[in-house]
């Protein structure tokens, strides 16, 4: 019986029958290979020591480490292996950029004063002015829908619209919410004494 005939007899693909026969000829058994079980990590031993030192020396990206391991160590790994390694080392992805103006003597002095005396401030009298924004080009580009049906979502085209939201954040809530129909700029803030109006609202809501 040929392999094709055997495949037709047992109702399997021809390629499957060919692989089974090849396995039987090579190993003496057509049993399935081992599945599951523990697989040792590729990034171990000297590779792990090298990568650990590399992470300490300078900034890196995980995809960059994948390329460096392949180029400098001859070790082929995937992104997931590097991700698991750096997290096992207690590293996490963090924001790195801060304002360079912090280094100015006057600003550094005021920051130090703030850190020193902020414990004396009544939290009920502390107000933070915060801003966030959204744009129409932030709309989702893709989504899920039943097969055979179109999925449509409409946003303005060729002219992106920006909306800015500003509010006063207190320890117990939000005051003076302000929605700007446009970006944050000098005209939108100072024009028509809008800033004075917001300050008046905040002051009126201040505790006695």
Contact 68, 105 (CB under 8 A): no
- According to the model, what pLDDT value does residue 82 have? 93
**Is pLDDT larger for residue 75 or for residue 176?**
75
The whole-angstrom distance between residue 154's C-alpha and the CA centroid of its chain comes to 26
- Regarding pTM above 0.85, the answer is no
The whole-angstrom distance between residue 42's C-alpha and the CA centroid of its chain comes to 26
- According to the model, what pLDDT value does residue 190 have? 67
Contact 127, 175 (CB under 8 A): yes
**Is pLDDT larger for residue 195 or for residue 146?**
146
pLDDT higher than 70, residue 147: yes
| 55-74: average pLDDT | 92
- According to the model, what pLDDT value does residue 105 have? 95
Give CA–CA dist 192/184, Å, rounded: 15
pLDDT higher than 90, residue 208: no
Buried b (16+ CB within 10 A) or exposed e, 145-176: eeeeeeeeeeeeeeeeeeebebbbebeeeebb
Tens of pLDDT, residues 81-110: 999 999 999 988 888 788 899 999 999 999
Domain boundaries, the chain: 1-33, 45-88, 121-139+154-208
**Is pLDDT larger for residue 40 or for residue 68?**
68
At 193, the pLDDT band (50, 70, 90 cuts) reads: low
At 4, the pLDDT band (50, 70, 90 cuts) reads: confident
**Is pLDDT larger for residue 83 or for residue 203?**
83
- According to the model, what pLDDT value does residue 134 have? 86
Identity of the highest mean pLDDT range in 30-39, 52-61, 182-191, 193-202:
52-61
Tens of pLDDT, residues 177-192: 888 888 877 777 666 5
At 28, the pLDDT band (50, 70, 90 cuts) reads: confident
């Amino acid at each position: 019986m040929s392999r094709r005939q055997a495949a037709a007899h047992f109702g399997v693909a021809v390629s499957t029958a060919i692989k089974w026969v090849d396995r039987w000829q090579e190993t003496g058994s057509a049993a399935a290979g081992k599945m599951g079980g523990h697989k040792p990590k590729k990034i171990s031993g000297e590779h792990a020591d090298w990568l650990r030192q590399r992470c300490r020396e300078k900034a890196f990206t995980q995809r960059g480490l994948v390329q460096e391991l392949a180029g400098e160590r001859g070790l082929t790994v995937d992104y997931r292996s590097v991700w698991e390694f750096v997290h096992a080392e207690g590293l996490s992805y963090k924001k790195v950029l801060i304002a360079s103006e912090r280094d100015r003597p006057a600003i550094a002095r005021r920051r130090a004063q703030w850190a020193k005396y902020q414990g004396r401030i009544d939290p009920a009298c502390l107000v933070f002015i915060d801003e966030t924004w959204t744009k129409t080009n932030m709309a989702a580009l893709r989504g899920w829908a039943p097969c055979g049906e179109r999925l449509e979502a409409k946003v303005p085209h060729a002219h992106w619209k920006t909306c800015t939201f500003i509010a006063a954040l207190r320890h117990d809530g939000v005051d003076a919410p302000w929605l700007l129909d446009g970006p944050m700029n000098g005209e939108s803030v100072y024009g028509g004494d809008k800033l004075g109006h917001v300050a008046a609202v905040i002051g009126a809501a201040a505790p006695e």
